[in-house]
Structures are given as structure tokens and as C-alpha cells.
Amino acid sequence: MTMPLYALVVLIWGSTWIALKMQLGAVPVELSIAYRFGLAALVLFAWLLLTRQWRVPRGAAVPRVLGQGLCLFSLNFVCFMHASETLASGLAAVVFSSASIWNALLARLLYGRRLAPHVLAGSVLGLAGLAVLFWPELQQGGQASWQGLAWALGGTLCFSCGNMLSASLQALGYRPLHTNAWGMLAGTLLLAGYALAAGLPWTFDASWRYAGALVYLAVPGSVIAFTAYLTLVGRLGPEKAAYATVLFPIVALNISAVAEGYQWTPPGVLGLLLAMAGNVLVFRPPRWLQTAGLQKA
């Protein structure tokens, strides 16, 4: 079941970047995300009730679920939607692919897992790829592109923190189906509370473009893909589960080329290949590293 879950996550999340861009407009970013996860939470709770799988988080799980709601189902997407205001959706997906690196670093920091030489090498290679890919964009776009890149990196770090929280919840015996429902509800309430406190206008765009993107992001993009991905986190650990993000940019950039007019350039291709190679190196070190004694089997 591992490979089908990977394929499902890659295909769905690789195509949600353009849907995120379609959400930009008259509706404040925070409310668009609240609508998305509010709808996704309703779908999940309805499923849990129908299948009699209802479970309420208790004890040590409660703050972790709240943290997951903050990191995975609110701040993460606030950051990426702001990034999409100045970056092509495919470029934001490339930044997101560095989640595999951040997951490995956080696992080292939080759980003391050994940071092998190939992880360090892959991190350097991946970050170099991002620099090559984004340099023309940053030169042409100026401060706006730098801000977009900063938003995307912040969203990726939030995503990785949410991965760690999900892994700890599954270690406590909670399935992603349950924690996602409660986490999405928490994220929705946090964003709604912020919207009220900030005095944001409570608007909704009834156009097919906005509403269609909302439904796609809420059901396939949230209910299905997040459940599949966090199931991989529980089975394989957050570091290896994030390997799925290596393939997102291929899907996202090709969609961006058609929908947004993104143009492939030699530096862009080189940067993408370096970024992906860095992520691959994190999880699939070449045999010579193992035979050299630098990597424990």
C-alpha cells in the first residue's frame, strides 16, 4: 500500500498549487483557508460518525492536536497563499519540496536521530538548487520575490513541525483520520478567531473558479491527501514520508507552465534537478557512501 499512497499524494498535492492561486482575490487569505478546512473537517467528522470511528483526543494528545491545527491547517497555508501572490505556483512547490530536508533536521533536533553525511550533503545540494532556480526570479522580481520566497520557506517549516506532531500523535495510538478532523477544526477556529479580531471582511466568492478550487482543496487536497500523507508519516517516519514532496515540483511546474505561462529556462531546469537530487540523496544515498563506511545500512 505504500506506493499507491505515495502516488496519490504526489498527484493530488502536485496539482493543488494552482488551485491555491485561484483562491487569491476578493476573499481574505485567512478566510479562504478557514473555509477550506472547515469544509474538510465537516466531511471527516461525517465519515467518522457514519463509520462509528468517533474518537475525542484526550490528555497529552490535546495540545499536539492544537499544534497540528496551527502548523498544518492554518499557518502553513497562510504562508503559501501569501507566497503565491508574488511567486509562480510551481516555484512555491519547489520550495515545499525541501520539507524532506527540514523533516530530517527536526528529527535530529527533537528526537536525537543521527544526521548522516548523506543528509548533510543532500541538504546542501537541495538548497543550492533552490538558489539557482530562484536567482533569476529574485533578480527580476526584486523585494516582492524575496518576500514570496520567505513566505514559502516559513510555510515549509510549519509543515515540517506539523509532521513531527502527527508522528507523536500516532505514537500515542491516534490515527491520522481522527487527528486530522480535530486538527482541521482547530485550524478553522484559529483562523476564524483571527479574522474576527483583525476585523477582516467576511466575504465569499461564488464564482465557479473560486468555489471549484475550494471544493478541490477541501476534499481531495485535504481529506484524502492529508490522510494518505500522514499515514505514510506513521508508517515510515516523517523523514521518509516527505520523500513524496520530491516529485511535487514536476507536476506543479508543468501545470504552471500551461496555466500561468511559466517558462522553463536552463537555470530553472538545473536548479530543479539540483533540488530534487538533494532530496533524493537524503533518502537514497549511493552505494559508494555505504561501502565507504559513511552511512550505516
Model pLDDT, residue 251: 77
pLDDT along the chain (297 residues), means of 10: 78 84 89 95 94 90 94 91 79 76 79 70 73 70 78 91 90 89 95 94 92 94 88 76 69 74 77 75 60 45
Phi, psi of 58, deg, nearest 5: -135, 160
Give CA–CA dist 296/168, Å, rounded: 25
The pLDDT value given to residue 295? 45
Domains held by the chain: number: 1
d(CA 296, CA 289): 9
Task: State the residue range of the domain holding 263.
Answer: 2-291
296 part of a folded domain: no
Q: What is the rounded CA–CA span in Å between residue 297 and residue 278?
A: 19
**Helix residue spans in the chain (DSSP H):** 2-22, 29-50, 61-70, 76-83, 89-96, 99-111, 117-141, 143-171, 176-198, 208-218, 225-236, 238-241, 248-259, 266-283, 287-291
182 inside domain: yes
pTM: 0.78
- Is residue 297 one of the residues assigned to a domain? no
Instruction: Please give the Cα distance from 277 to 122 (Å, whole number).
Output: 7
Q: Give the CA radius of gyration of the chain.
A: 19
Q: How many residues can be counted in the chain?
A: 297
Which amino acid belongs to residue 217? L
SS3 labels along 190-254: HHHHHHHHHCCCCCCCCCHHHHHHHHHHHHHHHHHHHHHHHHHHHHHCHHHHHHHHHCHHHHHHH
